[in-house]
Amino acid sequence: MNQLLKEIRHNPLLWLLAFVPVVLAAAKLKPEAHTLLFISSILAIVPLAALLSHATESVAAKTGDAVGGLLNATLGNLTELIIALAALQAGQYILVKASVAGAIVTNSLFMLGASFFLGGLKQHVQEYNSVSARLQAGLLFLATIALLIPSSIAKADPAAGAVITRKLSVGLALLLIVAYGLGMLYSLKTHRELFGSADHGEAGEAPWPMSLALATLAGVTILVALVSEVFVESVQKAAETFGMTPAFVGFIVVALVGGAAEMASAFSAARKNRLDLSVGIALGSATQIALFVAPVLVLLSYVIGPTPMDLQFWPGAVVMIFIATMTAVLVTNSGRSTWFVGVLVMMVYLIFAMTLYVLPPRAQ
Amino acid sequence: MNQLLKEIRHNPLLWLLAFVPVVLAAAKLKPEAHTLLFISSILAIVPLAALLSHATESVAAKTGDAVGGLLNATLGNLTELIIALAALQAGQYILVKASVAGAIVTNSLFMLGASFFLGGLKQHVQEYNSVSARLQAGLLFLATIALLIPSSIAKADPAAGAVITRKLSVGLALLLIVAYGLGMLYSLKTHRELFGSADHGEAGEAPWPMSLALATLAGVTILVALVSEVFVESVQKAAETFGMTPAFVGFIVVALVGGAAEMASAFSAARKNRLDLSVGIALGSATQIALFVAPVLVLLSYVIGPTPMDLQFWPGAVVMIFIATMTAVLVTNSGRSTWFVGVLVMMVYLIFAMTLYVLPPRAQ
Amino acid sequence: MNQLLKEIRHNPLLWLLAFVPVVLAAAKLKPEAHTLLFISSILAIVPLAALLSHATESVAAKTGDAVGGLLNATLGNLTELIIALAALQAGQYILVKASVAGAIVTNSLFMLGASFFLGGLKQHVQEYNSVSARLQAGLLFLATIALLIPSSIAKADPAAGAVITRKLSVGLALLLIVAYGLGMLYSLKTHRELFGSADHGEAGEAPWPMSLALATLAGVTILVALVSEVFVESVQKAAETFGMTPAFVGFIVVALVGGAAEMASAFSAARKNRLDLSVGIALGSATQIALFVAPVLVLLSYVIGPTPMDLQFWPGAVVMIFIATMTAVLVTNSGRSTWFVGVLVMMVYLIFAMTLYVLPPRAQ
């Protein structure tokens, strides 16, 4: 507990924790103050995400690579998962899908591109293990196809009703989860020697003792759940106030908020010339969302959602995920990066953000 | 003849030849027993395909690489060609196109992926000549564009009538055949030294004497033609009985049946760590179908079909061929493979198969 | 001046300058002789483009790499820019966009492919600096996305009116110009050592003295502008006479005419085994048009056009640019080329040309 307080004192990002009680109080007292709730819930989620990420890594550091990898997969994107679950329960499937697609695109373009850029400002040319990057890119490619094929084939026959789409979505969800599991088996067990340079330690922070990590995990998860509920309820109305389209909010704002903590780790690693770690966080996170979080949400929608959710995204989202994957595939091919590679990748993201920003409100 | 009988005794796959007379008799006696005819014609085609493939290789082994390559091109996919011709003559253009597209997709995904997977179970990492794989992938890419451009440009103007599409299809068919011919000139003549490790011999089977090979070729071709006719006539009705969509039958069932023999060779070579041969069979076969069989079918439709056939595929098929080609391009880039690469490639195929399986009957 | 006359005497291409007065006279005397004006204006533009290109290089050779690069960017595609400006002022936005898209496709496929082919006829295997080719391909990829995303997202919501499309187009135009500028900063300043082998000198022609170069630049620019006006006015009517579709004229004829001079340089360099120069001209020119000429035309349309022009191309053009970019990306990956690589790339171009040629007149 002392260690936790000491960490909070030394990490200014964690001072934002003060917003957690503010949000929860405001949600009770002023439920109609959407803009206030929106902004303060964003400010509260960021430090909670940082704590969650640190606690997860501390548990993973203790349990060894194999179990740790699984834990990381299950818990690494916990913020995104909880936000999505809150939206899922509210039946806001458009927001769920936008935040899933946005997280994939934001992680594989913005987080990757900014890591390359920030690393490239310090180092002339940076090298990283392209085998690992290619595995992640390959998994992303598979997930993209799982999103692309149903919607492009369904287009040929719009009569292919919702029942079929749902049946197919469940099958694809299971396939993606299996692929994700086999990918871990491959990189952590059968061919782990190819995935070297994984000089763990995650940005140099010392791991917490197990008891503190588990307690933090439990406590923070509950807080994130509570704050996320406020965020999801306020986001659409607040966005209108700011003149943002719902697509922009779901894709860009939610994804940047949900990924704040991972981005901090990825950027710091890039500046320390540990680009393997940055690429691992950025692409690993995108892969987790595409092959684990999204499929799990589809399956969970049968249990907790008002109606089953399918894997069919609106065509624009599929195109963006496809482009993001192609960019990641092409860029990670060489295993070398410079500042300009980072600029190119971020500009692809900027094109998406600009397009979503000017899109009229109904366009989802 | 003795040698043929000896081979039949030693190769259990060839015992299925017993189904050849069964099919032909049943087709005469019980023409309405679609399910029976469907199953027994599949069981009869598999051993015939194996014999055909062996006879072709024996002829090729005698005539040397240059002529042998041409023969292989002309005869290698003879089963697929005969099945397609039977469907062409019956005016079943949807089945023709589905089986062409299915053969391309099945060879470049399932056959390639399963070869990587089976080889990877025995060998930790396998290397193969990526120059050869890249040539095949490049040719496939060209064929994909030839299918993609007309249909995507025609979409912009549906008024572009059938006449124009047909004129264009003939031009594209000729272009693809020329590209295929130049590709053979390149790999067999001008730059053959780049395509090394072609330690021919095809899975270790001893070649037959010329007379036996030619006699088998003639006899089996006639049998395949007769059985294929039964197969094409029964497939649609039988598929309904099994609850399979026509798209699934054309893409998956026909392609797996038609490629059975080549798959046996490719998988056996992969397990013997002769991955160059596996990749050559898988991608070479896909290339042959895309750049030789399909164009020849278009041209032949002017002679033997009830109306001319064009090269325009339904959008879902074009997307699948495009994805299959992209997968082959990305996967063969490095010239190395492991079991997990095989899993990824097969999963792309599984996504296609699942989607086609749940598609409603009308969706072609 | 003497030097200019000497050059004209020695370069048979420049004898075509005799057509310049012919065109200008004919345009006054016989404004309705569209076919005559069309052919003679093409014949007049080719030598003017050659002079312009030589003058630009002479200026660039004097000012050093950094300024020279900027000059090359601004002036290298001057012919295309002037033709496009003439069409822009006439409000012929379809022709403007077709010529922009056509120039990108023609440079990155025909000019690149023919360079590979011609070089490959002399040399068995040619190597070139793939870092430079990959930078150009990366920039092209970015530009393709800037064209692709708006039109694919707009399709999801056709109500997204012209106002939004225009707002987005201005933003994307600025983004592309910035990306182009940063790309020059990267290749000419911060990482110039990666872009070696740039043994400038452009096909061995001696640079002109500064005064002659600047005078030629000014004089020829005016002549090109005058002749281009005639060309733009006559092209559509003349095309009908020849039975060519407007799409074919805009994509193929205008692009080949506009790029004639650069092609001469690129092909001659390829035959001299200076493939770095050929690839640089072909892809550099495509990149300039996509990231500099096209965005500048969008911005200029607010000043000189009858109405603002957007960046939205017809779907067929976007698909062609996308395919051309993918081809360039895949082909330049290895940094090696042979004659067959050139054939493959040219055949992709031929597929485009054939499709556009048979397209009915209305299909834009």
pLDDT digits over A291-338, tens only? Answer: 999 999 999 999 887 888 888 888 888 889 999 999 999 888 888 899
B138 CA to chain C: closest CA distance, Å? 8
Q: Does C84 touch chain A (CB under 8 A)?
A: no
Q: Do C360 and B159 touch (CB under 8 A)?
A: yes
- Give the nearest partner residue to C354 out of B141, B157, B171, using CB atoms: B171
The confidence score (pLDDT) of residue B324 equals 95
Check if the beta carbon of residue A217 is closer than 8 Å to that of residue A52. Answer: yes
Enumerate the residues of chain A whose CB falls inside 8 A of the CB of residue C157.
Answer: 359-360, 362-363
Q: Does C210 touch chain B (CB under 8 A)?
A: no
Comparison of pLDDT for A360 and B305, the residue scoring more? B305
Enumerate the residues of chain C whose CB falls inside 8 A of the CB of residue B182.
Answer: 340, 343
B-C interface: how many C-beta pairs under 8 angstroms? 85
The confidence score (pLDDT) of residue B214 equals 84
The C-alpha atoms of residue A60 and residue A68 are separated, in whole angstroms, by: 4
Q: Do A355 and C153 touch (CB under 8 A)?
A: yes
Return the top range by mean pLDDT from A123-137, A158-172, C340-354. Answer: C340-354
Q: Is the pLDDT of residue B352 over 80?
A: yes
Q: Do C156 and A358 touch (CB under 8 A)?
A: no
Return the top range by mean pLDDT from B35-39, B225-229, B344-348, C212-216. Answer: B344-348
Suggest the residue from A130, A134, A136, A152 to mutate for an interface test with chain B (most B CBs closer than 10 A): A152
Q: Which of residues 100-159 of C touch B (CB under 8 A)?
A: 124-125
Q: Is the pLDDT of residue A73 over 60?
A: no
Return the top range by mean pLDDT from A83-92, A131-140, C272-281. Answer: A131-140
Q: Find the angle CA(B189)-CA(B193)-CA(B194) to the nearest 5 degrees.
A: 105
Report the residue of chain C nearest A348, measured CA to CA.
Answer: C142
Bridge-partner residues for B298, per DSSP?
A: none
C partners (3+ CB pairs within 8 A) are A, B
Check if the beta carbon of residue C233 is closer than 8 Å to that of residue C348. Answer: no
The C-alpha atoms of residue A95 and residue B359 are separated, in whole angstroms, by: 27
Q: Do A142 and B339 touch (CB under 8 A)?
A: no
Candidate from B47-61, B310-324, C283-297 with smallest mean pLDDT? B47-61
Q: Please choose, from the candidates A339, A351, A354, A357, the residue with its C-alpha nearest in 3D space to the C-alpha of residue A122.
A: A339
Tokens of B49: 């395909």
Enumerate the residues of chain B whose CB falls inside 8 A of the CB of residue C355.
Answer: 149-150, 153, 168
The confidence score (pLDDT) of residue B253 equals 84
- Give the nearest partner residue to C347 out of B156, B157, B179, using CB atoms: B179
Rg of chain C's alpha carbons, rounded to an integer? 20
- Give the nearest partner residue to A351 out of C155, C167, C175, using CB atoms: C175
Split at pLDDT 50, 70, 90, the class of C116 is: very high
Candidate from A156-160, A264-268, B91-95, B348-352 with smallest mean pLDDT? A156-160
CB burial of A77-98 (b: ≥16 within 10 Å; e: otherwise) equals bbbbbbbbbbbbbeebbbbbbb
How far, in Å, are A312, B317, C39 from residue B356 at the CA level? 16, 10, 53
If you average pLDDT over every residue of chain B, what do you get? 83
- Give the nearest partner residue to C350 out of B152, B157, B175, using CB atoms: B175
Q: Do C190 and A362 touch (CB under 8 A)?
A: no
Report the residue of chain C nearest B160, measured CA to CA.
Answer: C360
Bridge-based pairing of strands C126-127 and B336-337 is unpaired
Q: Is the pLDDT of residue A45 over 50?
A: yes
Q: How many CB atoms lie within 10 A of CB C20?
A: 21
Enumerate the residues of chain A whose CB falls inside 8 A of the CB of residue C153.
Answer: 316, 319, 355-356, 359, 363
**Which long-range CB contacts under 8 A does A66-72 form with residues at least 24 apart?**
A66/A188, A66/A189, A69/A184, A69/A187, A69/A188, A70/A184, A72/A284
Enumerate the residues of chain A whose CB falls inside 8 A of the CB of residue B316.
Answer: 152-153, 156
The confidence score (pLDDT) of residue C257 equals 79
CB burial of B296-320 (b: ≥16 within 10 Å; e: otherwise) equals bbbebbeeebeebbbbbbbbbbbbb
Comparison of pLDDT for C350 and A273, the residue scoring more? C350
Check if the beta carbon of residue C310 is closer than 8 Å to that of residue C166. Answer: yes
pLDDT tens column, C170-181: 999 999 999 999
Q: Does B308 touch chain C (CB under 8 A)?
A: no
The confidence score (pLDDT) of residue B35 equals 87
Q: Does B191 touch chain C (CB under 8 A)?
A: yes
Enumerate the residues of chain C whose CB falls inside 8 A of the CB of residue A347.
Answer: 142, 175, 179
B311 CA to chain A: closest CA distance, Å? 18
If you average pLDDT over every residue of chain C, what do you get? 83
Q: Please choose, from the candidates A50, A38, A49, A44, the residue with its C-alpha nearest in 3D space to the C-alpha of residue A19.
A: A44
Q: Is the pLDDT of residue B342 over 50?
A: yes
Candidate from B260-264, C59-63, C183-187, C335-339 with smallest mean pLDDT? C59-63
Tell me whether residue C362 is exposed, middle or buried, using C-beta atoms within 10 angstroms of its C-beta: 0 to 12, 13 to 18, 19 or more.
Answer: exposed
Percent of chain B predicted with pLDDT > 70: 88
Comparison of pLDDT for B39 and B59, the residue scoring more? B39
Q: Is the pLDDT of residue C363 over 60?
A: no
Tokens of A69: 């990898």
Enumerate the residues of chain B whose CB falls inside 8 A of the CB of residue C350.
Answer: 175
Q: Does A269 touch chain B (CB under 8 A)?
A: no
Enumerate the residues of chain A whose CB falls inside 8 A of the CB of residue B352.
Answer: 149
B170 CA to chain C: closest CA distance, Å? 11
Cα C49 from chain centre? 11
The confidence score (pLDDT) of residue A66 equals 54
Q: Is the pLDDT of residue C319 over 60?
A: yes
Comparison of pLDDT for B278 and B65, the residue scoring more? B278
- Give the nearest partner residue to B329 out of C330, C355, C360, using CB atoms: C330
Q: Do A168 and B339 touch (CB under 8 A)?
A: no
The confidence score (pLDDT) of residue C343 equals 96
Q: Which of residues 17-36 of A touch C (CB under 8 A)?
A: none
pLDDT tens column, B85-122: 888 888 888 888 888 999 999 999 999 999 999 999 99
Check if the beta carbon of residue B219 is closer than 8 Å to that of residue B78. Answer: no
Q: Is the pLDDT of residue B190 over 80?
A: yes
Q: Is the pLDDT of residue A201 over 60?
A: no
Average pLDDT of the segment spanning B168-174: 92
Instruction: State in Å, rounded, how far the first CA of chain B is from the last one.
Output: 45
Q: Does A338 touch chain C (CB under 8 A)?
A: yes
Return the top range by mean pLDDT from A1-5, A101-105, B45-49. Answer: A101-105
Report the residue of chain C nearest B175, measured CA to CA.
Answer: C347
Q: Is the pLDDT of residue A363 over 80?
A: no
Instruction: State in Å, rounded, how far the first CA of chain C is from the last one.
Output: 45
Candidate from A275-279, A298-302, A311-315, B54-58 with smallest mean pLDDT? B54-58
The confidence score (pLDDT) of residue B280 equals 84
DSSP reduced 3-state for B321: helix
The confidence score (pLDDT) of residue C364 equals 41
Check if the beta carbon of residue B46 is closer than 8 Å to that of residue B257. Answer: yes
Q: Does C311 touch chain A (CB under 8 A)?
A: no
Place of tokens 């005969």: B82
The confidence score (pLDDT) of residue A178 equals 96
Place of tokens 């349990």: A63
Check if the beta carbon of residue A119 is closer than 8 Å to that of residue A273. Answer: yes
Comparison of pLDDT for B57 and A295, the residue scoring more? A295
Bridge-partner residues for B337, per DSSP?
A: B126
How far, in Å, are A145, B283, B320 from residue B348 at the CA level? 7, 16, 10
How far, in Å, are C53, C235, C328 from residue C322 at the CA level? 28, 27, 10
Average pLDDT of the segment spanning B348-358: 91
Label each residue of chain C as H, E or C: CHHHHHHHHHCHHHHHHHHHHHHHHHHHHCCCCHHHHHHHHHHHHHHHHHHHHHHHHHHHHHHHHHHHHHHHHHHCCHHHHHHHHHHHHCCCHHHHHHHHHHHHHHHHHHHHHHHHHHHHHHCCCEECCHHHHHHHHHHHHHHHHHHHHHHHHHHHCCCCCHHHHHHHHHHHHHHHHHHHHHHHHHHHHHCHHHHCCCCCCCCCCCCCCHHHHHHHHHHHHHHHHHHHHHHHHHHHHHHHHHCCCHHHHHHHHHHHHHCHHHHHHHHHHHHCCCHHHHHHHHHHHHHHHHHHHHHHHHHHHHHHCCCCCCCCCCHHHHHHHHHHHHHHHHHCCCCEECHHHHHHHHHHHHHHHHHHHHCCCCCC
Split at pLDDT 50, 70, 90, the class of B148 is: confident
The confidence score (pLDDT) of residue A341 equals 94
Comparison of pLDDT for A11 and A286, the residue scoring more? A286
Check if the beta carbon of residue C8 is closer than 8 Å to that of residue C14. Answer: yes
Q: Is the pLDDT of residue C27 over 60?
A: yes
- Give the nearest partner residue to A160 out of B334, B351, B363, using CB atoms: B363
Cα C217 from chain centre? 18
Enumerate the residues of chain C whose CB falls inside 8 A of the CB of residue A358.
Answer: 164, 167-168, 171
- Give the nearest partner residue to C153 out of A334, A338, A359, using CB atoms: A359
A partners (3+ CB pairs within 8 A) are B, C
Split at pLDDT 50, 70, 90, the class of C110 is: very high
If you average pLDDT over every residue of chain A, what do you get? 83
- Give the nearest partner residue to C182 out of A333, A340, A354, using CB atoms: A340
Q: Do B149 and C347 touch (CB under 8 A)?
A: no
Q: Do B145 and C323 touch (CB under 8 A)?
A: yes
Check if the beta carbon of residue C101 is closer than 8 Å to that of residue C321. Answer: yes
Q: Is the pLDDT of residue A65 over 70?
A: no
DSSP reduced 3-state for B92: coil
Q: For residue A101, which amino acid is it?
A: A
Bridge-based pairing of strands B336-337 and B126-127 is antiparallel
Check if the beta carbon of residue A71 is closer than 8 Å to that of residue A60. Answer: yes
Q: Do A139 and B354 touch (CB under 8 A)?
A: no
Q: Is the pLDDT of residue B153 over 80?
A: no
Percent of chain A predicted with pLDDT > 70: 89
The confidence score (pLDDT) of residue C57 equals 73
Split at pLDDT 50, 70, 90, the class of B203 is: very low
Q: Find the angle CA(A274)-CA(A252)-CA(A102) to the nearest 5 degrees.
A: 75
The confidence score (pLDDT) of residue A102 equals 92
* φ, ψ of residue B126 in degrees (nearest 5): -115, 140
CB burial of C272-285 (b: ≥16 within 10 Å; e: otherwise) equals eebbbbbbbbbbbb
ipTM of the complex: 0.85
A243 CA to chain C: closest CA distance, Å? 14
Q: Is the pLDDT of residue A109 over 90?
A: yes
Split at pLDDT 50, 70, 90, the class of A87 is: confident
The confidence score (pLDDT) of residue C113 equals 96
C326 CA to chain A: closest CA distance, Å? 10
DSSP reduced 3-state for A311: coil
Enumerate the residues of chain B whose CB falls inside 8 A of the CB of residue C323.
Answer: 145, 148-149
Comparison of pLDDT for A201 and B223, the residue scoring more? B223
pLDDT tens column, B213-241: 888 888 888 888 888 888 878 887 887 78
Suggest the residue from A248, A344, A352, A362 to mutate for an interface test with chain C (most C CBs closer than 10 A): A344
Contacts of A238 by beta carbon, 8 Å cutoff, 6+ apart = A34, A35, A37, A38, A39
B partners (3+ CB pairs within 8 A) are A, C
The confidence score (pLDDT) of residue C107 equals 92
Average pLDDT of the segment spanning A80-91: 82
Average pLDDT of the segment spanning C194-198: 62
Q: Do A363 and C153 touch (CB under 8 A)?
A: yes
- Give the nearest partner residue to C164 out of A338, A348, A360, using CB atoms: A360
